Chain A
């Protein structure tokens, strides 16, 4: 009996979500567009930027150094300036992000084994990119100094051997694109589940549901299952695109990832149901979803690490299901994370799901009385 009721409700919900062609397009096109935008546009890497040079040195060494910048793949071209004022104006105009200032006595001091100084002028308006460029140029200059000294046969006391695990080339795409397996279904599930209750409220059919033999918990399940089906289907499609089309290898176990995603989506559905139990029409639901979704995206380690947040804000990230699934996805995709470490991140999501779904069921029951 309960199964007939439930399956009828689930079927009705699936039909409602996909009947309108405009709504179908709105559910399919934006996620795909975001996938490609994200794969090609979302990079914090710095490449292809011009480098400004102000060379006041007349020796050979400075030109040798500059030719190393020309060969570096991160830089597109060398722009030369004749005076400090011209260099300054170029940074002001954002023509270049960095100007390498080589002073008059560079070659002489280098040859005399004294310590020459190279000044880097960087545009702090984009401090993250400027820091990366600073690192690139610093490495080139140090290497140049090292090679120069090797010629003079001076041995270095110690050296840094830099290794990157899990993602040896520090490839942004490999680190960023798998995240979409969680964020895109999250957006869609929030919309489908959140809007469906609100639409029934607006049309007045929700009262009819409440007076039917369905229990509040059954209504909750009936609203949740279609969202879960659609969300998981989308997660699987995106996983396939990520691994096949973008060639990002899954180093860990697929079933563990699937388990994590299922618990995550149930938690998201719980949040959506809770939001929709508070609103009375679609426009309010839309606003409610935005108010939940934006903090969820930004306070999750999605665009910058959770550890960088102020310590009073970090507990908020812990009650965000996206934070946990992102650790799982990055871990399973890149780090071959063992199951017991994944489990550490699954139970908080399960707790979020239990709390939000019970709250939503309680709100629905309250509406009946």
Chain B
């Protein structure tokens, strides 16, 4: 028994050694493992932001009065607006059309007069619907500025809130409302998916393409040993990339880590084993590098981008797509990552997600083993 076990360990060690050399020597695996992750993390951290921090708005004041000056001041005093002023709304039409302004606020000529008379004075807000997200944020900001202006006016009048309902919004886990805080953990899931699935698919499909895999399988190496030999070096690579990502998230992007580092690593290991098995499965189906890279993009990367819930809201999608998202591993990983980074170790989220990921990796592993064996016959 011990002799058989010895042989098995020796073979696995030799295989891991060979695979490691292969990964280390190939510049393109270096690109996949380090350059692309760095690029992606950098772009999600700096390039993508839903936070319209300084909105460029045009303020049309058709007839300047102390009231309108007051309104202008209350807009300029918030950090949200970069206000330009004109007397006629036509001055801003081209700018809005060219996308140089994100909104126009119009105070009509009778604004002060109506206020003085006690009539309802209208403030028109025009937003650019070709970017619906920013349009929504801009009208929200204007609403907020208008509310505080009104509250100040009410103070000046000496009247109280007059039954107005105050709304006190508390954003937990991310009170500064930085989109970066959920985009960076989300992009880590894309990076891990890419290393796990794309790199593994490329590396193994090259062996199929070149025919070296037959040579390998003709040796005493068993299917299981073969798979473990392929997985271990890529697993190590993925964990290294994770380390780089976590350091960058903490020290470059200043994302808090409220959970423990152990749950982060354990959870990542679970996800990585799913991604690696998926990559292996792709390589046994595709068998050429070009096809493998295409399939990895389609099966692993795109669902990870669209259906993981970090960029697009899954609840808003039509039912078939919502159902599909249930079998996308990235969805569970993103849920877990966002929770571990921003909220802490909440086991009610982490344990069910980890259980799903574990089941997925077992199924994918079994499928790969079966596929490889069939190919051998």
Smallest Cβ distance from A285 to chain B, in angstroms?
10
Inter-subunit contact A308/B50 (CB<8 Å)? yes
Closest chain A residue, CB of each to CB of B149: A158
Chain B 92-114 residues near chain A, CB threshold 8 A: 94, 96-99, 102
Q: Is B339 in the interface zone, CB < 8 Å from A?
A: yes
Q: A166-B128, A304-B50, A305-B134 are in contact. Are A160 and B97 (CB under 8 A)?
A: no
Q: A124-B177, A125-B182 are in contact. Are A159 and B123 (CB under 8 A)?
A: yes
Inter-subunit contact A115/B139 (CB<8 Å)? no
Please indicate the chain B residues that have their CB under 8 angstroms from the CB of A303 in the complex. 48, 311
Q: Is A165 in the interface zone, CB < 8 Å from B?
A: yes
State the CA gap A167–B119 with chains docked (Å). 31
Q: A149-B162, A160-B146 are in contact. Are A23 and B290 (CB under 8 A)?
A: yes
**Which of B35, B162, B302, B338 has the most chain A CB within a 10 Å cutoff?**
B162
1/0 per residue, CB under 8 A from A, across B18-57: the answer is: 0000000001100110011001100110111111111010
**Which of A131, A137, A171, A341 has the most chain B CB within a 10 Å cutoff?**
A131
Q: A44-B132, A149-B163 are in contact. Are A159 and B120 (CB under 8 A)?
A: yes
1/0 per residue, CB under 8 A from B, across A320-343: the answer is: 000000010011011111100100
State the CA gap A355–B240 with chains docked (Å). 38
State the CA gap A291–B36 with chains docked (Å). 7
Q: Is B171 in the interface zone, CB < 8 Å from A?
A: yes
State the CA gap A91–B276 with chains docked (Å). 32
Please indicate the chain B residues that have their CB under 8 angstroms from the CB of A132 in the complex. 136
State the CA gap A91–B172 with chains docked (Å). 9
Inter-subunit contact B50/A160 (CB<8 Å)? no
Q: Interface segment, A4-12, A26-34, A263-271?
A: A26-34
Please indicate the chain B residues that have their CB under 8 angstroms from the CB of A362 in the complex. none
Inter-subunit contact B53/A308 (CB<8 Å)? yes
Please indicate the chain B residues that have their CB under 8 angstroms from the CB of A337 in the complex. 97-98
Of the residues A48, A128, A310, contact of B179 by C-beta under 8 Å: A128
Chain B 119-141 residues near chain A, CB threshold 8 A: 119-137, 139-140
Q: A37-B302, A37-B306 are in contact. Are A119 and B312 (CB under 8 A)?
A: no
Q: A30-B294, A158-B115, A158-B150 are in contact. Are A290 and B36 (CB under 8 A)?
A: yes
Closest chain A residue, CB of each to CB of B145: A160
Inter-subunit contact A330/B294 (CB<8 Å)? no
Q: Interface segment, A52-60, A217-225, A237-245, A294-302?
A: A294-302
Inter-subunit contact A310/B136 (CB<8 Å)? no
State the CA gap A131–B318 with chains docked (Å). 22
Please indicate the chain B residues that have their CB under 8 angstroms from the CB of A330 in the complex. 99, 130-131
1/0 per residue, CB under 8 A from B, across A29-45: the answer is: 01001100100111111
Inter-subunit contact A41/B307 (CB<8 Å)? yes
Number of interface residues, chain B, beta carbon within 8 A: 104
Q: Interface segment, B72-80, B342-350, B354-362?
A: B342-350
Smallest Cβ distance from B139 to chain A, in angstroms?
5
Q: Is B321 in the interface zone, CB < 8 Å from A?
A: yes
State the CA gap A171–B162 with chains docked (Å). 36
Inter-subunit contact A92/B99 (CB<8 Å)? no
Please indicate the chain B residues that have their CB under 8 angstroms from the CB of A49 in the complex. 313, 315-316
Q: Is A135 in the interface zone, CB < 8 Å from B?
A: yes
Chain B 172-218 residues near chain A, CB threshold 8 A: 172-175, 177-179, 181-182, 202
Q: Is A104 in the interface zone, CB < 8 Å from B?
A: no
Inter-subunit contact A165/B127 (CB<8 Å)? yes
Q: Is B6 in the interface zone, CB < 8 Å from A?
A: no
Inter-subunit contact B123/A158 (CB<8 Å)? yes
State the CA gap A336–B128 with chains docked (Å). 13
Please indicate the chain A residues that have their CB under 8 angstroms from the CB of B326 in the complex. none
Please indicate the chain B residues that have their CB under 8 angstroms from the CB of A341 in the complex. 94, 97-98
Q: A40-B321, A335-B130 are in contact. Are A122 and B171 (CB under 8 A)?
A: yes
State the CA gap A160–B129 with chains docked (Å). 17
Q: A94-B335, A338-B97 are in contact. Are A157 and B178 (CB under 8 A)?
A: no
State the CA gap A129–B174 with chains docked (Å). 12
Inter-subunit contact A156/B43 (CB<8 Å)? no
Please indicate the chain B residues that have their CB under 8 angstroms from the CB of A131 in the complex. 137, 140, 171, 177
Smallest Cβ distance from B202 to chain A, in angstroms?
8
Inter-subunit contact B161/A166 (CB<8 Å)? no
Residues of A within 8 A of B (CB): 22-23, 26, 30, 33-34, 37, 40-49, 76, 89, 91-94, 110, 113-132, 134-135, 137-139, 141-142, 144-145, 148-149, 152, 154-172, 175, 282-284, 286-287, 290-291, 294-295, 298-299, 303-305, 307-310, 313, 327, 330-331, 333-338, 341, 344
Q: What are 20 A-B residue pairs whose CB atoms fall within 8 Å in the complex? A: A23-B290, A41-B306, A43-B313, A45-B316, A113-B160, A115-B161, A120-B169, A127-B177, A135-B143, A144-B165, A154-B163, A156-B120, A158-B120, A161-B123, A286-B289, A307-B56, A308-B49, A313-B46, A331-B130, A341-B97
Interface contacts beyond A141-B167, A335-B130: sample of 7 additional A-B pairs, CB < 8 Å, sorted by A: A30-B297, A124-B172, A124-B342, A141-B165, A157-B153, A287-B28, A334-B129
Q: Which 5 A-B pairs have the closest CB atoms?
A: A167-B129, A124-B174, A115-B161, A170-B132, A124-B171
